[in-house]
Amino acid sequence: MIELLVVEDSPRKVSRVIELAERVLLSEAVRVDTAASAYEAGIRLTERPYDLLVLDINLPIHPGETPEPKGGLSVLRALRKSRKYQLPAYIVGLSAYPELVAAHRDEFNTALWHLVEYQDDSSAWERPIELLLEHVTNRKVSVSEQPYDFDLAVITALHREWNSKAC
């Protein structure tokens, strides 16, 4: 089962992300949880490990409050600083504000996560999330078929000359 958490205060965006997940994961079982504030996201992230977190940047800190331009970043930073949260396998930021995407892209890239600009009148934002969902699905299948004793592999190409001297 694919576990997806959508942290977003816009019902329209939540609906579009869920529709995308259902379309991509046709034959897969998927559990989608939602949160509309940073506080609610924190609660969900203590309850279970998610395969993918889709995180709005302009997000209320608490339910019923006005969205803040760094509300979603508070979730991201809490995940990195505290072990009480279960870190999702993958995180993608989603924002309808180009200036927020530009301002925070480096923070996402440094952690090897993605930050995508959402546009209500376009489907261009869907492709990066679609690829992540496909990757999560393929990873789950391959991990269940061939368990390994490591979580990360770094594969590099070595020069033939160095390789022949080392052998």
Which domains are seen in the chain, by residue range? 2-166 (3.40.50.2300)
Write down the pTM of the prediction. 0.82
Backbone angle region of 38, left / alpha / beta, with phi > 0 → left and psi within -120 to 50 → alpha: alpha
* pLDDT (0 to 100) of residue 29: 83
Residue 3: strand pairing partners: 31
* pLDDT (0 to 100) of residue 108: 87
Considering only CA atoms, which of 66, 40, 74, 70 is closest in space to residue 58? 70
Residues 134 and 24: beta-carbon distance below 8 Å: yes
Q: What is the pLDDT along the chain (167 residues), one digit of tens a residue?
A: 899 999 999 999 999 999 999 999 887 788 999 999 999 999 999 999 999 999 999 999 999 999 999 999 999 999 989 889 999 999 999 999 999 999 999 988 888 788 999 998 999 999 999 998 998 888 876 555 555 666 677 777 766 655 555 55
